[in-house]
Protein backbone atom coordinates (compact mmCIF):
# COMPACT_ATOMS: atom_id res chain seq x y z
CA UNK A 1 0.00 0.00 0.00
CA UNK A 2 1.42 3.31 -1.01
CA UNK A 3 1.74 6.03 1.56
CA UNK A 4 0.40 9.00 -0.35
CA UNK A 5 -1.24 12.04 1.17
CA UNK A 6 -4.55 10.41 0.31
CA UNK A 7 -3.81 7.45 2.53
CA UNK A 8 -7.07 6.20 3.99
CA UNK A 9 -9.53 8.29 1.99
CA UNK A 10 -11.40 6.36 -0.70
CA UNK A 11 -12.56 8.09 -3.87
CA UNK A 12 -16.25 7.96 -3.04
CA UNK A 13 -15.78 10.14 0.05
CA UNK A 14 -14.89 13.03 -2.22
CA UNK A 15 -17.76 12.20 -4.54
CA UNK A 16 -20.27 12.19 -1.68
CA UNK A 17 -19.04 15.54 -0.34
CA UNK A 18 -19.26 16.97 -3.86
CA UNK A 19 -22.78 15.55 -4.23
CA UNK A 20 -23.81 17.19 -0.96
CA UNK A 21 -22.37 20.53 -2.05
CA UNK A 22 -24.10 20.25 -5.43
CA UNK A 23 -27.48 19.50 -3.86
CA UNK A 24 -27.15 22.36 -1.37
CA UNK A 25 -26.37 24.66 -4.30
CA UNK A 26 -29.34 23.25 -6.22
CA UNK A 27 -31.62 24.06 -3.31
CA UNK A 28 -30.16 27.56 -3.23
CA UNK A 29 -30.88 28.10 -6.93
CA UNK A 30 -34.42 26.68 -6.84
CA UNK A 31 -35.59 27.84 -3.43
CA UNK A 32 -34.17 31.27 -2.69
CA UNK A 33 -36.15 34.41 -3.39
CA UNK A 34 -33.20 36.74 -3.88
CA UNK A 35 -31.40 36.69 -7.23
CA UNK A 36 -27.99 37.21 -5.59
CA UNK A 37 -28.58 34.20 -3.32
CA UNK A 38 -29.50 32.18 -6.42
CA UNK A 39 -26.15 33.08 -8.01
CA UNK A 40 -24.41 31.96 -4.80
CA UNK A 41 -26.10 28.59 -5.27
CA UNK A 42 -24.75 28.39 -8.81
CA UNK A 43 -21.23 29.03 -7.53
CA UNK A 44 -21.60 26.22 -4.96
CA UNK A 45 -22.71 23.85 -7.73
CA UNK A 46 -19.72 24.78 -9.90
CA UNK A 47 -17.41 24.13 -6.95
CA UNK A 48 -18.95 20.68 -6.49
CA UNK A 49 -18.24 19.90 -10.14
CA UNK A 50 -14.63 20.99 -9.70
CA UNK A 51 -14.17 18.74 -6.66
CA UNK A 52 -15.46 15.80 -8.70
CA UNK A 53 -13.18 16.56 -11.65
CA UNK A 54 -10.06 16.89 -9.51
CA UNK A 55 -10.90 13.80 -7.43
CA UNK A 56 -11.33 11.68 -10.59
CA UNK A 57 -8.15 13.13 -12.03
CA UNK A 58 -6.17 12.27 -8.90
CA UNK A 59 -7.50 8.74 -8.41
CA UNK A 60 -8.12 7.53 -11.95
CA UNK A 61 -6.12 9.49 -14.54
CA UNK A 62 -3.30 11.40 -12.84
CA UNK A 63 -1.16 11.04 -15.98
CA UNK A 64 -3.38 13.06 -18.33
CA UNK A 65 -4.20 16.77 -17.91
CA UNK A 66 -7.75 16.60 -19.37
CA UNK A 67 -9.55 17.06 -16.03
CA UNK A 68 -7.29 19.96 -15.10
CA UNK A 69 -8.09 21.71 -18.37
CA UNK A 70 -11.80 21.26 -17.66
CA UNK A 71 -11.37 22.68 -14.15
CA UNK A 72 -9.55 25.70 -15.57
CA UNK A 73 -12.38 26.36 -18.03
CA UNK A 74 -14.96 25.98 -15.27
CA UNK A 75 -13.05 28.65 -13.34
CA UNK A 76 -13.15 30.96 -16.38
CA UNK A 77 -16.85 30.40 -17.02
CA UNK A 78 -17.67 30.86 -13.32
CA UNK A 79 -15.84 34.19 -13.25
CA UNK A 80 -17.57 35.41 -16.43
CA UNK A 81 -20.97 34.22 -15.19
CA UNK A 82 -20.58 35.93 -11.81
CA UNK A 83 -19.48 39.22 -13.41
CA UNK A 84 -22.28 39.37 -15.98
CA UNK A 85 -24.93 37.98 -13.64
CA UNK A 86 -24.21 40.45 -10.85
CA UNK A 87 -24.02 43.32 -13.34
CA UNK A 88 -27.47 42.35 -14.61
CA UNK A 89 -28.85 42.15 -11.06
CA UNK A 90 -27.43 45.59 -10.18
CA UNK A 91 -28.88 47.05 -13.39
CA UNK A 92 -32.29 45.51 -12.69
CA UNK A 93 -32.17 46.76 -9.08
CA UNK A 94 -31.39 50.27 -10.28
CA UNK A 95 -34.41 50.26 -12.61
CA UNK A 96 -37.01 48.41 -10.55
CA UNK A 97 -35.69 48.70 -6.94
CA UNK A 98 -36.08 44.92 -6.58
CA UNK A 99 -33.93 41.80 -6.92
CA UNK A 100 -36.84 39.37 -6.74
CA UNK A 101 -36.77 37.23 -9.91
CA UNK A 102 -40.52 36.58 -9.63
CA UNK A 103 -41.25 40.26 -10.18
CA UNK A 104 -39.27 40.36 -13.43
CA UNK A 105 -42.14 39.34 -15.69
CA UNK A 106 -42.21 42.32 -18.05
CA UNK A 107 -41.25 40.07 -20.96
CA UNK A 108 -44.05 37.59 -20.22
CA UNK A 109 -46.23 37.25 -23.30
CA UNK B 1 -11.06 1.69 7.12
CA UNK B 2 -8.34 3.02 9.35
CA UNK B 3 -8.40 6.46 10.84
CA UNK B 4 -5.43 8.42 9.59
CA UNK B 5 -4.47 12.06 9.88
CA UNK B 6 -5.69 12.55 6.32
CA UNK B 7 -9.16 11.20 7.06
CA UNK B 8 -9.46 13.52 10.07
CA UNK B 9 -8.44 16.52 7.94
CA UNK B 10 -10.84 15.39 5.24
CA UNK B 11 -13.71 15.12 7.74
CA UNK B 12 -12.99 18.59 9.14
CA UNK B 13 -12.83 20.13 5.67
CA UNK B 14 -16.06 18.39 4.64
CA UNK B 15 -17.86 19.71 7.72
CA UNK B 16 -16.58 23.23 6.96
CA UNK B 17 -17.59 23.05 3.27
CA UNK B 18 -21.04 21.55 3.76
CA UNK B 19 -21.86 23.45 6.96
CA UNK B 20 -21.02 26.85 5.54
CA UNK B 21 -22.79 25.99 2.26
CA UNK B 22 -25.93 25.13 4.23
CA UNK B 23 -25.63 28.41 6.08
CA UNK B 24 -25.32 30.23 2.72
CA UNK B 25 -28.61 28.84 1.42
CA UNK B 26 -30.57 29.19 4.67
CA UNK B 27 -29.56 32.49 6.26
CA UNK B 28 -31.75 35.56 5.95
CA UNK B 29 -28.89 38.08 5.96
CA UNK B 30 -27.24 38.05 2.54
CA UNK B 31 -24.07 39.68 3.82
CA UNK B 32 -23.52 36.79 6.23
CA UNK B 33 -24.27 34.44 3.33
CA UNK B 34 -21.50 36.06 1.27
CA UNK B 35 -19.02 35.69 4.16
CA UNK B 36 -19.95 32.02 4.67
CA UNK B 37 -19.58 31.50 0.91
CA UNK B 38 -15.94 32.58 1.32
CA UNK B 39 -15.49 30.02 4.11
CA UNK B 40 -16.98 27.34 1.88
CA UNK B 41 -14.56 28.27 -0.93
CA UNK B 42 -11.67 28.00 1.53
CA UNK B 43 -12.81 24.51 2.49
CA UNK B 44 -12.92 23.49 -1.17
CA UNK B 45 -9.38 24.88 -1.59
CA UNK B 46 -8.37 22.64 1.33
CA UNK B 47 -9.88 19.63 -0.44
CA UNK B 48 -7.81 20.52 -3.52
CA UNK B 49 -4.67 20.54 -1.34
CA UNK B 50 -5.69 17.12 0.01
CA UNK B 51 -5.99 15.94 -3.60
CA UNK B 52 -2.41 17.12 -4.23
CA UNK B 53 -3.55 19.77 -6.66
CA UNK B 54 -1.88 22.80 -5.16
CA UNK B 55 -2.15 24.86 -8.33
CA UNK B 56 -5.92 24.78 -8.26
CA UNK B 57 -6.02 25.43 -4.53
CA UNK B 58 -4.14 28.68 -5.19
CA UNK B 59 -6.33 29.43 -8.22
CA UNK B 60 -9.40 28.81 -6.04
CA UNK B 61 -8.18 31.34 -3.47
CA UNK B 62 -7.31 33.91 -6.14
CA UNK B 63 -10.34 33.54 -8.43
CA UNK B 64 -13.19 32.50 -6.14
CA UNK B 65 -12.21 34.18 -2.88
CA UNK B 66 -10.28 37.09 -4.34
CA UNK B 67 -12.58 38.02 -7.21
CA UNK B 68 -15.98 36.32 -7.21
CA UNK B 69 -16.66 36.71 -3.48
CA UNK B 70 -15.75 40.40 -3.64
CA UNK B 71 -18.19 40.79 -6.55
CA UNK B 72 -20.89 39.15 -4.43
CA UNK B 73 -20.17 41.43 -1.46
CA UNK B 74 -20.34 44.48 -3.74
CA UNK B 75 -23.63 43.30 -5.22
CA UNK B 76 -25.10 42.68 -1.74
CA UNK B 77 -24.05 46.14 -0.61
CA UNK B 78 -25.35 47.87 -3.75
CA UNK B 79 -28.77 46.24 -3.27
CA UNK B 80 -28.87 47.12 0.40
CA UNK B 81 -32.64 47.57 0.56
CA UNK B 82 -33.22 43.90 -0.25
CA UNK B 83 -31.57 42.39 2.84
CA UNK B 84 -34.88 42.09 4.68
CA UNK B 85 -36.83 40.41 1.88
CA UNK B 86 -38.34 36.92 2.43
CA UNK B 87 -35.81 34.14 2.50
CA UNK B 88 -37.42 31.54 0.24
CA UNK B 89 -39.96 31.46 -2.57
CA UNK B 90 -43.15 29.45 -2.87
CA UNK B 91 -41.45 26.36 -4.32
CA UNK B 92 -38.78 26.09 -1.60
CA UNK B 93 -40.19 22.91 -0.04
CA UNK B 94 -40.35 21.20 -3.40
CA UNK B 95 -36.81 22.38 -4.13
CA UNK B 96 -35.60 20.92 -0.82
CA UNK B 97 -37.31 17.62 -1.58
CA UNK B 98 -35.76 17.44 -5.06
CA UNK B 99 -32.31 18.27 -3.68
CA UNK B 100 -32.49 15.61 -0.96
CA UNK B 101 -33.76 13.01 -3.43
CA UNK B 102 -30.94 13.83 -5.86
CA UNK B 103 -28.41 13.50 -3.04
CA UNK B 104 -29.79 10.10 -2.02
CA UNK B 105 -29.69 8.88 -5.63
CA UNK B 106 -26.08 10.02 -6.08
CA UNK B 107 -25.00 8.41 -2.78
CA UNK B 108 -26.62 5.10 -3.79
CA UNK B 109 -24.92 5.18 -7.18
CA UNK B 110 -21.52 6.16 -5.83
CA UNK B 111 -21.43 3.92 -2.78
CA UNK B 112 -23.93 1.06 -2.50
CA UNK B 113 -22.58 0.01 0.90
CA UNK B 114 -23.72 3.32 2.39
CA UNK B 115 -27.28 2.01 2.52
CA UNK B 116 -26.10 -1.51 3.42
CA UNK B 117 -26.81 -2.97 0.00
CA UNK B 118 -24.77 -6.17 -0.21
CA UNK B 119 -21.84 -6.15 -2.59
CA UNK B 120 -20.99 -9.52 -4.13
CA UNK B 121 -18.36 -11.39 -2.10
CA UNK B 122 -14.89 -10.94 -3.51
CA UNK B 123 -15.85 -7.79 -5.35
CA UNK B 124 -13.68 -5.43 -3.39
CA UNK B 125 -13.39 -3.13 -6.37
CA UNK B 126 -16.65 -2.38 -8.08
CA UNK B 127 -15.92 -1.47 -11.66
CA UNK B 128 -18.53 0.82 -13.14
CA UNK B 129 -17.93 2.42 -16.50
CA UNK B 130 -14.30 1.34 -16.41
CA UNK B 131 -13.69 3.15 -13.12
CA UNK B 132 -12.93 1.20 -9.95
CA UNK B 133 -14.91 3.32 -7.49
CA UNK B 134 -13.76 2.20 -4.10
CA UNK B 135 -10.02 1.94 -4.29
CA UNK B 136 -7.97 3.75 -1.69
CA UNK B 137 -4.44 3.38 -3.03
CA UNK B 138 -3.34 5.89 -5.61
CA UNK B 139 -0.21 6.23 -7.66
CA UNK B 140 2.15 8.94 -6.53
CA UNK B 141 2.38 11.96 -8.78
CA UNK B 142 5.27 14.28 -9.41
CA UNK B 143 5.28 18.00 -10.06
CA UNK B 144 5.50 17.37 -13.80
CA UNK B 145 1.68 17.21 -13.95
CA UNK B 146 1.49 20.98 -13.90
CA UNK B 147 4.06 21.15 -16.70
CA UNK B 148 1.95 18.79 -18.80
CA UNK B 149 -1.14 20.81 -18.02
CA UNK B 150 0.50 24.06 -19.09
CA UNK B 151 1.84 22.49 -22.29
CA UNK B 152 -1.57 21.04 -23.17
CA UNK B 153 -3.15 24.51 -22.94
CA UNK B 154 -0.94 25.85 -25.74
CA UNK B 155 -0.86 22.64 -27.77
CA UNK B 156 -2.82 22.93 -31.00
CA UNK B 157 -3.83 19.25 -30.85
CA UNK B 158 -5.04 19.58 -27.23
CA UNK B 159 -6.69 22.61 -25.61
CA UNK B 160 -5.38 25.60 -27.57
CA UNK B 161 -8.76 26.48 -29.10
CA UNK B 162 -10.74 26.27 -25.83
CA UNK B 163 -7.98 28.28 -24.16
CA UNK B 164 -8.31 31.08 -26.72
CA UNK B 165 -12.11 30.92 -26.56
CA UNK B 166 -11.89 31.26 -22.77
CA UNK B 167 -9.81 34.40 -23.23
CA UNK B 168 -12.38 35.82 -25.68
CA UNK B 169 -15.21 34.88 -23.29
CA UNK B 170 -13.53 36.74 -20.42
CA UNK B 171 -13.03 39.81 -22.63
CA UNK B 172 -16.65 39.83 -23.74
CA UNK B 173 -17.89 39.24 -20.18
CA UNK B 174 -15.77 42.16 -18.95
CA UNK B 175 -17.10 44.52 -21.62
CA UNK B 176 -20.67 43.26 -21.20
CA UNK B 177 -20.63 43.61 -17.42
CA UNK B 178 -19.33 47.17 -17.68
CA UNK B 179 -21.94 48.07 -20.29
CA UNK B 180 -24.85 46.51 -18.38
CA UNK B 181 -24.02 47.85 -14.91
CA UNK B 182 -22.75 51.27 -16.01
CA UNK B 183 -24.42 54.20 -14.28
CA UNK B 184 -25.68 56.38 -17.12
CA UNK B 185 -25.49 60.16 -16.91
CA UNK B 186 -28.78 61.99 -16.28
CA UNK B 187 -28.57 63.80 -19.64
CA UNK B 188 -28.18 60.46 -21.40
CA UNK B 189 -31.16 59.00 -19.54
CA UNK B 190 -33.28 62.08 -20.34
CA UNK B 191 -32.42 61.89 -24.03
CA UNK B 192 -33.32 58.19 -24.04
CA UNK B 193 -36.65 58.89 -22.30
CA UNK B 194 -37.49 61.62 -24.82
CA UNK B 195 -36.70 59.23 -27.64
CA UNK B 196 -38.88 56.53 -26.08
CA UNK B 197 -41.74 59.02 -25.51
CA UNK B 198 -41.55 60.19 -29.12
CA UNK B 199 -41.60 56.59 -30.33
CA UNK B 200 -44.57 55.80 -28.10
CA UNK B 201 -46.49 58.83 -29.36
CA UNK B 202 -45.76 57.86 -32.94
CA UNK B 203 -46.95 54.32 -32.25
CA UNK B 204 -50.15 55.63 -30.68
CA UNK B 205 -50.86 57.85 -33.69
CA UNK B 206 -50.35 54.91 -36.01
CA UNK B 207 -52.70 52.75 -33.94
CA UNK B 208 -55.33 55.48 -33.93
CA UNK B 209 -55.02 55.81 -37.68
CA UNK B 210 -55.48 52.03 -38.02
CA UNK B 211 -58.45 52.08 -35.64
CA UNK B 212 -60.26 54.86 -37.44
CA UNK B 213 -59.43 53.77 -40.97
CA UNK B 214 -61.73 50.68 -41.10
CA UNK B 215 -64.55 52.68 -39.52
CA UNK B 216 -64.35 55.36 -42.18
CA UNK B 217 -64.33 52.65 -44.83
CA UNK B 218 -67.38 51.03 -43.22
CA UNK B 219 -69.08 54.38 -42.89
CA UNK B 220 -68.43 55.10 -46.55
CA UNK B 221 -69.91 51.68 -47.42
CA UNK B 222 -72.95 52.32 -45.30
CA UNK B 223 -73.85 55.54 -46.98
What is the Cβ-side half-sphere exposure of residue B1, based on CA atoms within 13 angstroms? 15
> Which are the contacts of B108, defined by CB distance < 8 A and separation ≥ 6?
B114, B115, B117
Would you list the domain boundaries of chain B? 1-85, 141-182, 185-223
CATH 3.40.980.10 assigned to A11-98: no
Q: What is the pLDDT confidence band of residue B193, given thresholds at 50, 70 and 90? A: confident
Q: What's the mean pLDDT in A33-39?
A: 89
Inspect the interface and report whether the beta carbons of A28 and B6 lie closer than 8 Å: no
- The reported pLDDT for the residue numbered B216 is 55
Of B17, B24, B148, the CB nearest to A65: B148
CA-atom Rg of chain A in angstroms: 18
- B5: pLDDT strictly greater than 80: yes
B132 pLDDT above the threshold of 70: no
Q: Output the pLDDT for position B209.
A: 83
Poorest-confidence range of B38-47, B95-104, B129-138?
A: B129-138
Residues B126 and B104: their CA atoms lie apart, in Å, by: 19
Answer yes or no: CATH 3.40.1350.10 is held by domain B1-85: no
**Mean pLDDT within B161-176:** 93
Name the least confident of A5-19, A87-101, B105-119: B105-119
pLDDT, residue B87, reads 74
Domain residues of chain A, as ranges? 11-98
Any CB–CB contact under 8 A between B138 and chain A? yes
Between positions 184 and 223 of B, the ones with CB within 8 A of A are: none
**What average pLDDT does the segment B66-75 reach?**
92
Contact B4 A7 (CB under 8 A): yes
Q: Which residue has the higher pLDDT, B218 or B71?
A: B71
At B122 the pLDDT is 45
CB contact burial B103-116 (16+ within 10 A = b; e otherwise): beebbeebbbeeee
Q: Which pLDDT does position B214 carry in this prediction?
A: 58
Q: What backbone torsions phi and psi does residue B128 show, to the nearest 5 degrees?
A: -130, 120
Amino acid sequence: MEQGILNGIPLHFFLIVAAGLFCIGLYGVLGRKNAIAMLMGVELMLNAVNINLIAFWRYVRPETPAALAFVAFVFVVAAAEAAVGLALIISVYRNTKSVDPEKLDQMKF
Amino acid sequence: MTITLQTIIFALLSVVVLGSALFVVTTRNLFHAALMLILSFFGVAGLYVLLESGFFAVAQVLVYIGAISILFIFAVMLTRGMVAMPRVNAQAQLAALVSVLLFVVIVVIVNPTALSIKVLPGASERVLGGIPWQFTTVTTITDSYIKQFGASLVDGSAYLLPFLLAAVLLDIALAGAVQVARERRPAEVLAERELMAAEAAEEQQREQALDTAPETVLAADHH
